[in-house]
Every structure is written in structure tokens, then in C-alpha cells.
């Protein structure tokens, strides 16, 4: 895939300083562009941003749709020196970094395993971590993050259908996207250096709205219900099922009972 020529970055990105950045008014997916740039040699920490995606991706093959100029649509190129087994922790890292950036705005975010960031029980952000492969070698990890910032980010129908919200709707004003982005990148940098630390899991647990709850998890292996007892060092969910056994789940969609989300 040929990379698209970046647009001139707007003023709200001035705070990025010398961090390598490619900004697009409109692009397919920032994750795809970041993967192409990573393979072409982009350094760790480089970011791809867009005002609009025409092929934005969510987890499990879903589309990620946001109206132009209403969201943070960002992909961060990371080159973590960790074993493949530790890679799922990058998803947790992304969720913790978003939660911390929102908490710094005075909000009270929660994380629904594995990667949904919630405000007042509704999804405000999602994380999609993907590996950029160069042949058989892992070239980089692309940490794709979408945050619904402004009220118009998604239609009322979509918000109701997906149980979604925006930062503006909860905060009562639109936050400064540039400031939120800088805080988010600062938290990603910080946690990337501590990817193997227990502290990352502790931070994730602190924001978790899943642990201790009765949940249903839908995954490629079917639907299973139980109590979410913990996450292990790889970020897998440990689910105590009704027969008393513990299932270890690496991926899936969680429904919290009594909440509907
Ligand atoms: C999810 O909750 O399913 C994950 C959503 C991730 C969306 C972001 S938006 C920026 C980046 N580019 C993409 O195509 N997807 C991620």
C-alpha cells in the first residue's frame, strides 16, 4: 500500500513539538498508515492522526465510525522489547493511558475488559493494538486509539445502539483535544517503559469496572457466563464459571449483568 501524503498539522497539534507525526484530514485507517510508516522505519513513539477515517477499524472486525473533527483518532507506533506473550498488555496499557488522561480532566473513567474505556457506564474510547509484521518478524506494535470527544462524534441512534457517549456530553464542555492527546501520549510513554511492571496491572485493576462482577463473555469460542475474578500477567480475563472452574479468556466482548453494556 502506498502511503498517502500527510496534510499540514493544525495548531492544536503544536504541543507535539519534535515528536514524529503524520496528520491527515481524511484517511482509511490510522492503524494502516502507522503500520506502513513503521515498516518504512518510523521511530518508536511516532504518531499518526486523522480527523476522519473512511475505514476505521475496531476489535473483532468491526468498523469504528466517527464524524469528522469530533474525535481523537490516533495510532502510536511502539517498538517494545518484550516477548510475544506480553503483547496483550499493550491493550491494557492503552486503556490505562486513556483512563488516566480522562481522569486528569476531572472525569471518573472505568475500563471494561479488555479495552473499552467508559464514562458513566457508556463507552467513550476503544483501543486496537495490532502487530506490524515485516515477513515473519514483528516490526512494531500499532496502538490505535479512538476517543469520542465532541457530541457529534456519533449519531444519537448509534450512541444508543452501542451504549456510547462522548467526553463533551459527560464533561459539559468540549475538552482541548491537543491537551488530551499530549497527556495520553505522556502516559503511554511512561507505561511503555514499565510494560512488565506489576504496577500496570494494578493501575488497570484500579479503573476496572469488570472485576468482581457477574458478566457474560462472547468470544470466538462461544458465550460463557461467570464472575470476573481477575486478570493475569498477560491481560487474560479469569472467569469463575457456574460449575466452579476458572476459564482464562484472551479475547471477547463482555456484558456486565444489570448494566446491559
Ligand atoms: C474497539 O473498541 O473496538 C477499538 C477501536 C479502535 C479505534 C481506533 S481509531 C484510531 C485507530 N485506527 C483504526 O482504524 N482503529 C483505531
- pLDDT tens per residue, range 114-140: 889 999 999 999 999 999 998 888 889
Q: What is the pTM of this model?
A: 0.94
CB within 8 Å of 195: residues ≥ 6 apart: 80, 82, 86, 89, 90, 93
How remote is the CA of residue 245 from the centroid of ligand 1, in Å? 33
Q: What is the pLDDT of residue 258?
A: 63
> Closest by alpha carbon to 159, among 205, 127, 121?
121
Q: Is the pLDDT of residue 238 over 80?
A: yes
Other C-beta atoms within 10 Å of 40: how many? Answer: 9
Q: Is the pLDDT of residue 225 over 80?
A: yes
The answer to whether 166 and 124 have CB atoms below 8 angstroms apart is yes
Percent of the chain with pLDDT over 90: 78
Q: Is the pLDDT of residue 110 over 90?
A: yes
**Who lines ligand 1 at CB under 6 A?**
29-31, 53, 56-59, 62, 64, 73-75, 116, 126-128, 144-146
Q: Once rounded to an integer, what is the mean pLDDT over residues 135-148?
A: 93
Grid cell in block for residue 79: 517498538
Q: Is the pLDDT of residue 73 over 50?
A: yes
Output the residue whose Cα is nearest ligand 1's atom 7.
146
Q: Return the ligand 1 atom nearest residue 31 CA.
A: 12
114 preceded by a cis bond (ω within 30 of 0): yes
Other C-beta atoms within 10 Å of 29: how many? Answer: 23
Rounded to the nearest 5 degrees, what angle is found at the Cα of 148, between the Cα atoms of 175 and 58?
A: 150
Grid cell in block for residue 14: 503544536
Measure the CA–CA gap between 96 and 116, rounded to whole angstroms.
10
Q: What is the pLDDT of residue 261?
A: 52
The answer to whether 111 and 96 have CB atoms below 8 angstroms apart is yes
Mean pLDDT across the chain, nearest whole number? 93
How remote is the CA of residue 30 from the centroid of ligand 1, in Å? 8
How remote is the CA of residue 28 from the centroid of ligand 1, in Å? 12
Grid cell in block for residue 245: 472452574
Q: Return the ligand 1 atom nearest residue 30 CA.
A: 12
Grid cell in block for residue 165: 457517549
Q: What is the pLDDT of residue 82?
A: 77
Least confident of 91-100, 155-164, 166-175, 218-227: 155-164
Measure the CA–CA gap between 222 and 259, rounded to whole angstroms.
21
H helices of 126-211, where?
156-162, 167-171, 177-192, 198-207
CB within 8 Å of 239: residues ≥ 6 apart: 215, 217, 224, 226, 227, 228, 229, 246, 247, 248, 249
Beta strands in the chain (DSSP E): 21-24, 47-50, 71-78, 109-112, 116-119, 122-134, 137-148, 214-219, 222-231, 237-241, 246-249, 253-256
Q: How far is CA 13 from the centre of its chain?
A: 20
Grid cell in block for residue 249: 479468556
The answer to whether 126 and 59 have CB atoms below 8 angstroms apart is yes
Amino acid at each position: 500500500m502506498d502511503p498517502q501524503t500527510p496534510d499540514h498539522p493544525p495548531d492544536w497539534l503544536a504541543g507535539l513539538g519534535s515528536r514524529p507525526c503524520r496528520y491527515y484530514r481524511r484517511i482509511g485507517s490510522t492503524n494502516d498508515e502507522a503500520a506502513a510508516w513503521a515498516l518504512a522505519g518510523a521511530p518508536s513513539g511516532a504518531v499518526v492522526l486523522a480527523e476522519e477515517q473512511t475505514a476505521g477499524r475496531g476489535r473483532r472486525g468491526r468498523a469504528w465510525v466517527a464524524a469528522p473533527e469530533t474525535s481523537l483518532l490516533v495510532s502510536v507506533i511502539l517498538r517494545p522489547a518484550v516477548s510475544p506473550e506480553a503483547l496483550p498488555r499493550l491493550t491494557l496499557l492503552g486503556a490505562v493511558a486513556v483512563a488516566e488522561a480522562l481522569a486528569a480532566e476531572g472525569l471518573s473513567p472505568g475500563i471494561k475488559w479488555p479495552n473499552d474505556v467508559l464514562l458513566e457506564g457508556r463507552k467513550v474510547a476503544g483501543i486496537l493494538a495490532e502487530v506490524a509484521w515485516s515477513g515473519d518478524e514483528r516490526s512494531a506494535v500499532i496502538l490505535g486509539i479512538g476517543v469520542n470527544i465532541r457530541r457529534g462524534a456519533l449519531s444519537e441512534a448509534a450512541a444508543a445502539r452501542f451504549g456510547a457517549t462522548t467526553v463533551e456530553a459527560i464533561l459539559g464542555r468540549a475538552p482541548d483535544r491537543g491537551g488530551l492527546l499530549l497527556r495520553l501520549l505522556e502516559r503511554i510513554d511512561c507505561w511503555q517503559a514499565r510494560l512488565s511492571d506489576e504496577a500496570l496491572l494494578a493501575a488497570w485493576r484500579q479503573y476496572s469496572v469488570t472485576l468482581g462482577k457477574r458478566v457474560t463473555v462472547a468470544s470466538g469460542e462461544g458465550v460463557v457466563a461467570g464472575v470476573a475474578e481477575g486478570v493475569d500477567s498477560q491481560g487474560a480475563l479469569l472467569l469463575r464459571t457456574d460449575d466452579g472452574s476458572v476459564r482464562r479468556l484472551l479475547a471477547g466482548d463482555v456484558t456486565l449483568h444489570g448494566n446491559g453494556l
